[in-house]
């Protein structure tokens, strides 16, 4: 009887943890990006999600930022910082996921800045919106409709690129930003910052690109100060 009670208690605690993770901003990671390979590194209802982890090949750490710390349900802002080191060639996927967004329409400005401090790497930075408004489990965070997609190489000099997309128009929804870095040949160290911010509809979207990115930079500077 005691064993049954203990088992039930442990199950209740684990279910509670899973419930918290599924309702708050969360960081996921994978080395293949395949269904069933993703795991939650950390989650935090404050919108400030520090994380670290690794395996035999990769060590990584960073911070994810989103609402309620920056942005809001009606004005989504997400930012993912990542530092990673690989011993051998291979890929690393990091995803920042949050739900409950209610911006019915508008555009999204995505920005990626990355540098291979040592070695050489390629990157893919993709954002998605999922109108189910659900948080993913251990399957694959990259569900829903693609919003933006950026890719390129990271030589020793920094690679900085931006793109524009559109919000899904159906609320509420889940937002996901996924960074994939691939070490070419191994022995690489990389520093990455990937972010996106909502901007209003219409012809002003392009003109607001610089303002949105500048505002996000100021917010990050204030948070880390």
High-pLDDT (> 90) share of the chain, %: 59
Whether pLDDT at 77 is above 80? yes
Whether pLDDT at 10 is above 80? no
Q: 35: domain CATH number?
A: 2.60.120
- Confidence band of 22 (pLDDT split at 50, 70, 90): very low
For every residue of 87-132, DSSP letters joined together read SSSEEEEEEEEEEEE---S-EEEEEEEEEEEES-EEEEEEEEEETT
Which two structure tokens, joined as six digits, stand for 12? 């209740």
* Least confident interval from 50-59, 123-132, 195-204: 195-204
Whether pLDDT at 205 is above 60? no
Measured CA to CA in angstroms, residue 15 lies from 7, 18, 21, 28, 147 at distances of 12, 5, 10, 18, 32
Residue 8 falls in which region: left (phi positive, over 0), alpha (psi -120 to 50) or beta: alpha
pLDDT at 91: 97
Domain count, the chain: 1
Distance in angstroms (rounded) separating the CA atoms of residues 220 and 77:
11
- Confidence band of 18 (pLDDT split at 50, 70, 90): very low
High-pLDDT (> 70) share of the chain, %: 76
Distance in angstroms (rounded) separating the CA atoms of residues 30 and 197:
25
For 73-97, what is the mean pLDDT?
96
Distance in angstroms (rounded) separating the CA atoms of residues 95 and 161:
19
Give the model confidence (pLDDT) of 132-163 as tens digits. 898 887 666 666 889 999 999 987 778 899 99
Full domain range(s) for residue 169: 2-224
Q: Of the ranges 75-84, 101-110, 151-160, 214-223, which is most confident?
A: 75-84
pLDDT at 20: 37
């Amino acid at each position: 009887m005691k064993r049954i009670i203990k088992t039930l208690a442990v199950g209740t605690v684990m279910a509670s943890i899973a419930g918290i993770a599924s309702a708050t901003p969360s960081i996921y990671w994978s080395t293949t990006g395949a269904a069933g390979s993703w795991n939650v590194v950390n989650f935090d209802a404050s919108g400030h999600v520090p994380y670290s982890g690794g395996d035999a090949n990769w060590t990584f750490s960073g911070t994810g930022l989103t609402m309620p710390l920056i942005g809001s349900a009606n004005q989504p802002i997400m930012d993912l910082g990542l530092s990673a080191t690989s011993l051998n060639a291979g890929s690393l996927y990091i995803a920042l996921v949050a739900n409950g967004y209610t911006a019915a329409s508008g555009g999204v400005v995505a920005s990626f800045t990355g540098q291979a401090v040592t070695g050489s790497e390629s990157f893919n930075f993709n954002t998605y919106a999922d109108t189910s408004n659900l948080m993913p489990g251990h399957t694959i965070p990259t569900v829903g409709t693609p919003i933006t997609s950026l890719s390129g190489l990271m030589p020793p000099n920094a690679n900085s690129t931006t793109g524009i997309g559109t919000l899904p128009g159906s609320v509420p929804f889940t937002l996901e930003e996924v960074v994939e870095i691939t070490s070419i040949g191994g022995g690489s160290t990389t520093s990455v910052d990937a972010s996106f911010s909502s901007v209003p509809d219409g012809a002003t979207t392009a003109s607001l690109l610089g303002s949105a990115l500048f505002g996000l930079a100021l917010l990050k500077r204030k948070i880390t100060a």
